[in-house]
């Protein structure tokens, strides 16, 4: 988390939709994964290119190593050493981000249709907001994502990865925002001419302020037909 | 192009042989060019056509870059942008990438393997015309502003008639399917040709590595295309006739389309990569001045790659809500698919390390390939990791990755290949002062354009948006990408100019300018229509005459078939593993039939597009009739027995042997068709387990009596086909048996049609009925095609093409009817099992 | 001449190892989907996945053992030796791929 934040600050990677500027445990875990993989990829890339240039520009440079050794070391040993730990790390990290049972956080329904997001809060008297999602800070929330027409995708890059809104099924995404504030979300699956403008806003309130803020937002939604 | 043939260098025998063979093999002048069936002619046309579509697709890509260069760009509106990016993707993949790699295969494979042409020249021509016509339909739709606009991936339900009511999506479904027919027919022909048509003595272990790459790629195409063809057919049926397969409100599943699409889409990346890797594996040893290191390791690697690439399609679907454990299979698979690629990379590096590398133009592009493809491969491994993909999926990070992989895999080796093989075609070399700067512009422009997109994506820019606000931090990155795309385009422009200059003014080079060891250099430059005046034999040892010397001896007719006989276009067929000659293959002459057949196929597609279904059906029937007609002229009208082929050897013609090319071709067809059928069966199970609104309130039902009737009729037909084969080989009349089979098939079709009518719920109502109808329709269609086989048999028995020694036709019919019976039993069994399957759904929690 | 060549039928062996891998993918994926849809108990689902995986591993291992010990007939020449080597290595590759690809089914949470 700290590392990820530091890296984001260093590279100027902040932005309202930046995955490298995380503000929740899920996005932070993935950002860390990215920086680790970037470092590894950088080393490998340099290695392959250096080898290529050396063998071409310095004939005879690599000929002491038998050719079968080249293939076994580079083609089998090298990938094995890197890929196996990476796969394990990726799968375990992925599992920790899942909406695991046993711990049942508040639920919010996110319903997509061309090109509007409607959010319903069953735990809060089933009020609804349009294109604005209210979340309490510092606590996980499960978003039940579905669609009324074509496929969309629910994505708040600074908080978590995305999940598709598929008609006829409900997908679940566990999301948590660490600090109160305003975040941006967007549809991330091509859904027709309005796709580019299918944004929504995520307002994260302090837990104490959350009920009031949500009620106020729901009231304005009702005012708009 | 075929008329301008270089004079063979050696005196009278060579010149005389050249004249005789040209008379037999050459494509005629003027309008007769439309009748060309020669692989050199068609291959060259395909290269040029696919390059033209590359240019169009490139311009479309440039248009998107113009629109996105600045925030809130008003160069295009959303409707236009959606058509442009959809067509950019569709053209680059279906009209450029696949045909381009196929054109390399068509032009080079017979030459590298030391044979005169492909096994089915008329099919090559038909494939080309289908490709050209399908591509033209798509291009015209763009000009008419009714181009597909649902993305090149056509996700349902956005592409269904509810959300895309116009003709746009139909253009994609029909146009692309049309082009795929061509890809599939070429793939079958490549498999048969690589296995059966090589230089004598070229056993599998001595086949140039390019042959292995092309063989494996073609087999992948045979298995990869059918799922998408099935998906396109089902979606078109849903759009045109209202049968639900993907409509979630009527028991279909939106995700079924994604599974079918990516089951094709992912292997497709490797279908593009492998032939180019084959070109690299051919070029790198030449520039390293030593044989390729790790031949066997590479063969193992490409087989592994071919299979693994089929098992990772779900990595395009990590965010659709599949349980994590199932994603894990595909995540691990996507990571380890890097291993076979690494094996090839290090085999190439070892080849260079152990050789004496020299720089030349192709090596420059090979460097570009190493740079770009390594980067693309590494981001590919990142995307295989599920949580990272949850963030990066459908952002510009994917755009960057995909262009690094596809362009790295295709564009750079393709350019290397152009510069490497163009001297074969032109006898000239490139203008380095133009070619080298062109490379650097392409290389720098490419990296500027696409490297930036990694960061754009991580900053959250989704794909397929026609504009953005400007406060996201994406604007400078997008501007740089757009500038880069212009630099890259200038580079490609210069490369094209360079190639044109080379054709006219390039410096003349001697034969085999690169000191290669493969056989395509052992022929006149440019290649004659007959390719080899006589067919070389590979000696027993590793050593082999240099192609330059070999060329002279072959031109004098010192190899096999160094003569003209009966005006036949002859080449040798060999035993699949040992490479010993086992038949003389007599190829068909140039004919307009492929063009005419393709035109009628195109007419059927167009009529379908304009919703003139009866006309479309009529055109399809004419097309089928033309195929039967084409069959009438195939083969030889009498028994010949063993024919001398030179060097004291004699082998029978292909009509009188068991392992003739048509037999292998039918096996390929059945593998493709079997994949389609398997996809349909799995689609049915997928809907059962995963689609919403199952179980329906309506109990499914189909008449058991009719189903049983279909099966019995199919079994009778299959038995009768066996009878006809046995009767003919015993010298008796077979017409009675064939007549019985015809009657049985007609009965099967009638019963199947009745069965479709009796299906409940009605196919319009629910996916249950629709899939049942599709399964039964599959059986009826195959019975119908079986009828065509039998009609062709009757006609050809009458015309004297079938004898106790020439039994291929009857064996083909028998195999087809066996296949129809087996799939029929499975399909109807599944239809009858549907009620029980639906009943079990009640047990779900 | 055909008597002294590797029968073309044997070319299918090149695909044998990975066909088993494909079969494992299809069966495991389908079994998992069915188990989750019908709400099988986690333990039962896990065991059935494990059994399917091990059956596939045993099949590949058996083919490997069977083919690796068979000496290619010398009269069939270099092509036979080549095919033998390539087939054995595809089997090894398929075995490793099967372990890596499907081992997660033994560890991860079943239906989330």
Q: Judged by CB atoms within 8 Å, which residues 31-50 of C form the interface with B? A: 32-34, 36-39
The secondary element (H helix, E strand) that includes residue B801 is: none
What is residue B511's DSSP assignment? S
Pair A74, A117 in one domain? no
Q: Binning pLDDT at 50, 70 and 90, where does residue A5 land? A: low
Q: How far apart are CA B782 and CA B795, in angstroms?
A: 20
Pair A31, A88 in one domain? yes
What's the rounded mean pLDDT across residues B528-554?
83
Pair A30, A60 in one domain? yes
Pair A129, A154 in one domain? yes
Q: Between chains, do C105 and B308 touch, taking CB under 8 Å as contact?
A: no
Pair A51, A130 in one domain? no
Whole-structure pTM value? 0.95
Model confidence pLDDT, tens digit, residues B620-657: 999 999 999 988 878 888 899 999 999 999 999 999 99
Of B23-32, B280-289, B758-767, C103-112, the range with the highest mean pLDDT is B280-289
Task: Give the neighbours of chain A: at least 3 Cβ pairs within 8 Å.
Answer: B, C
Question: What local confidence, expressed as pLDDT, does residue A4 receive?
Answer: 53
DSSP H helical segments within B428-474, as ranges? 432-458
Model confidence pLDDT, tens digit, residues B263-278: 999 999 999 999 999 9
Model confidence pLDDT, tens digit, residues B450-469: 999 999 999 999 999 999 99
Pair A80, A123 in one domain? no
What is residue B292's DSSP assignment? P
Residue B144: partners with Cβ closer than 8 Å, 6 or more residues away: none
The secondary element (H helix, E strand) that includes residue B195 is: helix B168-196
Model confidence pLDDT, tens digit, residues B54-74: 999 999 999 999 999 999 999
Question: What local confidence, expressed as pLDDT, does residue A143 receive?
Answer: 97
Mutate to test the interface with C, among A95, A142, A173, A174 (most CBs of C within 10 A): A95
Residue A185 near residue A162, CB atoms below 8 Å = no
What's the rounded mean pLDDT across residues B168-173?
94
Q: For chain C, what is the largest distance between any 2 Cα atoms, rounded to a whole number of angstroms? A: 60
Residues of C in contact with A91 (CB under 8 A): 104, 107-108
- Tell whether A88 lies on the interface with C, counting CB pairs under 8 A: no
Q: Is the pLDDT of residue A222 over 80?
A: no
- Tell whether B839 lies on the interface with C, counting CB pairs under 8 A: no
pLDDT tens, chain C, 112 aa long: 445 788 999 999 999 999 999 999 999 999 999 999 999 999 999 999 999 999 999 999 999 999 888 877 778 888 899 999 999 999 999 999 999 999 999 999 998 8
Q: How far apart are CA B40 and CA B111, in angstroms?
A: 9
Pair A144, A172 in one domain? yes
Mutate to test the interface with C, among B224, B540, B578 (most CBs of C within 10 A): B578
Q: Judged by CB atoms within 8 Å, which residues 51-70 of A form the interface with B? A: 51-52, 55-56, 59-63, 65, 67-68, 70
A172 to chain C: nearest residue by CA? C112
Return the ∠ at Cα B571 (arms to B625 and B563), rounded to 5°: 125
Q: How far apart are CA B659 and CA B655, in angstroms?
A: 9
What SS3 class is residue A45? helix
Q: Binning pLDDT at 50, 70 and 90, where does residue B1 land? A: very low
Total Cβ atoms within 10 A of residue A206:
12
Question: What local confidence, expressed as pLDDT, does residue B631 receive?
Answer: 86
Pair A209, A132 in one domain? yes
Name which residue leads in pLDDT, B618 or A8. B618
Q: How far apart are CA C31 and CA C110, in angstroms?
A: 11
B205 to chain C: nearest residue by CA? C79
Q: Between chains, do B689 and C37 touch, taking CB under 8 Å as contact?
A: yes
Residue B256: partners with Cβ closer than 8 Å, 6 or more residues away: B156, B231, B245, B246, B683, B686, B687, B690, B691
Q: Between chains, do B332 and C93 touch, taking CB under 8 Å as contact?
A: no
Total Cβ atoms within 10 A of residue B302:
26
What's the rounded mean pLDDT across residues A140-165?
96
Residue B176 near residue B150, CB atoms below 8 Å = no
Rounded to a whole number, what is the distance in Å from the CA of A99 to chain C's nearest CA?
Answer: 7
Q: Binning pLDDT at 50, 70 and 90, where does residue B208 land? A: very high
In terms of residues, how long is chain C? 112
φ/ψ of residue A207, rounded to 5? -50, -35
Fold of domain B694-843: 1.20.120
Return the ∠ at Cα B66 (arms to B64 and B68), rounded to 5°: 70
Q: What are the boundaries of each domain within chain C?
A: 14-107
- Tell whether B647 lies on the interface with C, counting CB pairs under 8 A: no
- Tell whether B299 lies on the interface with C, counting CB pairs under 8 A: yes
Q: Is the pLDDT of residue B532 over 90?
A: yes
List the structure tokens of A131: 């294109």
Pair A123, A206 in one domain? yes
Residue B518 near residue B210, CB atoms below 8 Å = yes
In terms of residues, how long is chain A? 225
Residue B373 near residue A49, CB atoms below 8 Å = no
Residues of A in contact with B249 (CB under 8 A): 167-168
Pair A115, A86 in one domain? no
Domain termination site, one of A35, A63, A96: A96
Number of domains in chain A: 2
Q: Binning pLDDT at 50, 70 and 90, where does residue B3 land? A: very low
Q: What are the boundaries of each domain within chain B?
A: 694-843
For tokens 């720098």, name the residue: B444
Q: Which domain holds residue A128?
A: 107-223
Q: Of B471, B462, B276, nearest to B362 (Cα)?
A: B276
User: What is the DSSP annotation of A179-216?
Assistant: S-EEEEEEE-S--STTGGG-EEEEEEE-TTTHHHHHHH
Question: What local confidence, expressed as pLDDT, does residue B549 receive?
Answer: 83
Q: Give the strand order in the sheet containing A141-147.
A: A127-130, A116-121, A107-113, A141-147, A171-175
Q: How far apart are CA B56 and CA B125, in angstroms?
A: 23
Measured between alpha carbons, how far is residue A104 from residues A28, A140, A174 in Å?
Answer: 22, 9, 10
A88 to chain C: nearest residue by CA? C104
Q: How far apart are CA A65 and CA B228, in angstroms?
A: 46
Residues of A in contact with B352 (CB under 8 A): 52, 55-56, 62
Residue B721 near residue B838, CB atoms below 8 Å = no
Q: Judged by CB atoms within 8 Å, which residues 88-107 of C form the interface with B? A: 89-90, 93-94, 97, 100-105
- Tell whether B332 lies on the interface with C, counting CB pairs under 8 A: yes
The secondary element (H helix, E strand) that includes residue A110 is: strand A107-113
Q: How far apart are CA B396 and CA B462, in angstroms?
A: 6
Model confidence pLDDT, tens digit, residues B100-115: 999 999 999 999 999 9
Q: Of B329, B307, B332, B694, nearest to C31 (Cα)?
A: B329
Tell me the angle at which helices B78-90 and B121-143 cross, rounded to the nearest 10 degrees: 170
Residue B738 near residue B720, CB atoms below 8 Å = yes
Q: How far apart are CA B171 and CA B138, in angstroms?
A: 7
Model confidence pLDDT, tens digit, residues B727-747: 999 999 999 999 999 999 999
Mutate to test the interface with B, among C82, C90, C107 (most CBs of B within 10 A): C82
List the structure tokens of A189: 């699956």
For chain C, the helix, strand and coil percentages under 3-state DSSP, each to the nearest 5: 85, 0, 15
Task: Give the neighbours of chain B: at least 3 Cβ pairs within 8 Å.
Answer: A, C
Residue B249 near residue B161, CB atoms below 8 Å = no
| DSSP strand pairing (A116-121 vs B649-651) | unpaired
CB-closest option in B78, B381, B460 to A196: B78
What SS3 class is residue B585? strand
In a domain, A102, yes or no: no
List the structure tokens of C91: 């089997």
Cβ contacts from A onto C, under 8 A? 13
Q: How far apart are CA A175 and CA A143, in angstroms?
A: 7
3-state secondary structure B204-223: HHHCCHHHHHHHHHHHHHHH
Q: Between chains, do B391 and A34 touch, taking CB under 8 Å as contact?
A: yes
Q: How far apart are CA B19 and CA B5, in angstroms?
A: 10
Q: How far apart are CA B330 and CA B836, in angstroms?
A: 31
Q: How far apart are CA B18 and CA B8, in angstroms?
A: 7
Q: How far apart are CA B565 and CA A198, in angstroms?
A: 71
């Amino acid at each position: 988390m700290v590392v990820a934040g530091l890296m984001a600050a260093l590279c100027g990677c902040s932005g309202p939709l930046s995955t490298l500027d995380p503000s929740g445990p899920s996005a932070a875990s993935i950002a860390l994964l990215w920086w680790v993989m970037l470092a590894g990829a950088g080393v490998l890339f340099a290695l392959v290119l250096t080898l290529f240039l050396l063998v071409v520009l310095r004939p005879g440079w690599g000929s002491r190593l038998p050719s079968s050794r080249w293939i076994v070391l580079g083609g089998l040993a090298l990938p094995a050493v890197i890929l196996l730990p990476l796969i394990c790390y990726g799968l375990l990290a992925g599992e920790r981000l899942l909406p695991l049972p046993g711990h049942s956080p508040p639920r919010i329904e996110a319903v997509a249709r061309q090109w509007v997001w409607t959010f319903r809060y069953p735990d809060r008297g089933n009020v609804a907001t349009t294109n604005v999602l209210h979340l309490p800070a510092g606590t996980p929330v499960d978003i039940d994502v579905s669609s009324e027409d074509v496929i969309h995708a629910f994505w708040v890059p600074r908080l978590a990865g995305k999940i598709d809104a598929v008609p006829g099924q409900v997908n679940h995404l566990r999301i948590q925002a660490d600090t109160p504030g305003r975040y941006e979300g967007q549809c991330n699956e091509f859904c027709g001419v309005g796709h580019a403008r299918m944004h929504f806003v995520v307002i994260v309130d302090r837990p104490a302020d959350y009920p009031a803020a949500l009620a106020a937002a729901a009231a304005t939604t009702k005012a708009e037909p | 192009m075929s008329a301008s043939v270089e004079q063979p260098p050696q005196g009278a025998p060579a010149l005389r042989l050249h004249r005789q063979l040209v008379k037999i093999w050459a494509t005629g002048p003027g309008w007769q060019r439309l009748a060309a069936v020669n692989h050199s002619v068609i291959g060259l046309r395909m290269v040029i056509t696919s390059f033209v579509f590359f240019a169009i697709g490139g311009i479309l890509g440039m248009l998107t870059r113009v629109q996105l260069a600045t925030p809130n760009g008003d160069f295009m509106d959303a409707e236009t942008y959606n058509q442009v990016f959809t067509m950019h993707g569709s053209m680059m993949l279906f009209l450029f990438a696949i045909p381009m790699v196929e054109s390399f295969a068509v032009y080079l494979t017979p030459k590298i393997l030391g044979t005169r042409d492909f096994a089915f020249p008329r099919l090559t021509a038909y494939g080309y015309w289908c490709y050209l016509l399908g591509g033209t339909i798509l291009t015209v739709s763009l000009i008419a502003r009714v181009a597909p606009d649902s993305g090149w991936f056509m996700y349902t339900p956005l592409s269904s008639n509810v959300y895309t009511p116009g003709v746009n999506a139909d253009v994609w479904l029909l146009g692309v399917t049309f082009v795929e027919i061509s890809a599939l027919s070429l793939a079958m022909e490549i498999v048969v040709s690589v296995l059966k048509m090589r230089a004598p003595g070229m056993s599998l272990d001595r086949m140039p590595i390019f042959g292995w790459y092309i063989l494996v790629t073609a087999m992948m195409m045979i298995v990869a295309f059918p799922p998408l063809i099935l998906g396109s057919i089902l979606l078109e049926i849903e759009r045109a006739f209202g049968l639900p397969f993907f409509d979630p409100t009527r028991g279909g599943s939106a995700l079924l389309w994604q599974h079918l699409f990516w089951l094709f889409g992912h292997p497709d990346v490797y279908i593009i990569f492998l032939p180019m890797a084959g070109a690299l594996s051919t070029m790198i040893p030449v520039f390293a001045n030593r044989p390729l290191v790790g031949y066997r390791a590479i063969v193992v690697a490409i087989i592994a790659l071919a299979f693994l690439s089929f098992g990772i399609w779900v990595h395009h679907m990590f965010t659709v809500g599949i349980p994590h454990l199932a994603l894990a299979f595909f995540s691990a698979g996507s990571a380890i698919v890097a291993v076979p690629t690494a094996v090839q990379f290090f085999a190439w590096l070892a080849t260079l390390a152990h050789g004496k590398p020299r720089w030349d133009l192709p090596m420059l592009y090979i460097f570009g390939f190493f740079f770009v493809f390594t980067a693309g491969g590494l981001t590919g491994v990142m995307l295989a990791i599920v949580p990272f993909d949850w963030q990066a999926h459908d952002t510009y990070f994917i755009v960057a990755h995909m262009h690094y992989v596809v362009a790295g895999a295709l564009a750079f080796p393709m350019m290397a290949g152009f510069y490497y093989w163009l001297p074969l075609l032109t006898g000239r070399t490139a203008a380095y002062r133009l070619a080298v700067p062109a490379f650097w512009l392409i290389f720098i422009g490419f990296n500027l354009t696409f490297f930036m997109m990694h960061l754009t994506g991580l900053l959250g820019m989704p794909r397929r948006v026609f504009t953005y606000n400007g406060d996201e931090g994406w604007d400078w990155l997008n501007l740089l990408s757009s500038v880069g795309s212009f630099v890259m385009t200038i580079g490609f422009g210069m490369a094209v100019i360079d190639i044109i200059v080379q054709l006219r003014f390039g410096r003349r080079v001697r034969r085999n300018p690169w000191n290669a060891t493969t056989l395509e250099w052992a022929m006149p430059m440019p290649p004659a229509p007959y390719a080899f005046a006589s067919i070389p034999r590979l000696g027993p040892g590793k050593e082999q005459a240099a192609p330059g010397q070999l060329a002279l001896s072959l031109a004098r007719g010192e190899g096999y078939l160094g003569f003209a006989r009966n005006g036949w276009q002859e080449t040798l067929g060999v035993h699949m593993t040992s490479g010993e000659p086992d038949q003389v293959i007599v190829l068909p002459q140039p004919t307009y039939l492929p063009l005419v057949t393709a035109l009628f196929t195109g007419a059927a597609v167009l009529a379908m597009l304009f919703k003139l279904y009866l006309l479309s059906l009529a055109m399809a029937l004419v097309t089928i009739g033309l195929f039967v007609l084409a069959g009438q002229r195939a083969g030889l009208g009498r028994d010949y027995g063993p024919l001398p082929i030179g060097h004291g050897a004699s082998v029978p013609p292909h009509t009188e042997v068991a392992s003739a090319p048509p037999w292998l071709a039918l096996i390929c067809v059945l593998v493709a068709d079997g994949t389609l059928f398997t996809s349909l069966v799995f689609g049915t199970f997928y809907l059962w387990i995963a689609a919403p609104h199952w179980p329906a309130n309506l109990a499914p039902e189909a008449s058991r009596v009719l189903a049983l009737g279909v099966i019995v009729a199919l079994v009778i037909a299959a038995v009768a086909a066996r009878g006809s084969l046995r009767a003919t080989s015993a010298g008796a009349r077979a017409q009675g048996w064939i007549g019985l089979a015809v009657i049985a098939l007609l009965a099967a079709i009638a019963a199947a049609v009745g069965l479709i009518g009796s299906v409940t719920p009605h196919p319009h109502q629910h996916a249950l009925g629709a899939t049942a109808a599709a399964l039964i329709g599959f059986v009826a269609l195959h019975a119908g095609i079986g009828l065509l086989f039998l009609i062709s048999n009757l006609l050809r028995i009458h015309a004297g093409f079938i004898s106790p020694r020439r039994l291929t036709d009857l064996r083909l019919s028998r195999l087809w009817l066996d296949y129809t019976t087996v799939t029929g039993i499975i399909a109807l069994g599944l239809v009858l099992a549907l009620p029980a399957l639906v009943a079990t759904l009640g047990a779900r929690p | 001449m055909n008597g002294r060549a590797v029968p073309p039928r044997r070319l299918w062996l090149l695909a044998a190892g990975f066909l088993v891998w494909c079969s494992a993918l299809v069966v495991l994926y389908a079994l998992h989907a069915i188990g989750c849809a019908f709400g099988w108990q986690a333990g039962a689902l896990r065991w059935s996945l494990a059994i399917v995986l091990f059956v596939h591993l045993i099949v590949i291992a058996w083919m490997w053992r069977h083919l690796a010990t068979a000496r290619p007939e010398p009269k069939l020449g270099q092509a036979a030796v080549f095919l033998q080597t390539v087939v054995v290595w595809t089997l090894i590759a398929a075995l490793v791929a099967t372990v890596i690809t499907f081992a997660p089914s033994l560890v991860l949470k079943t239906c989330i």
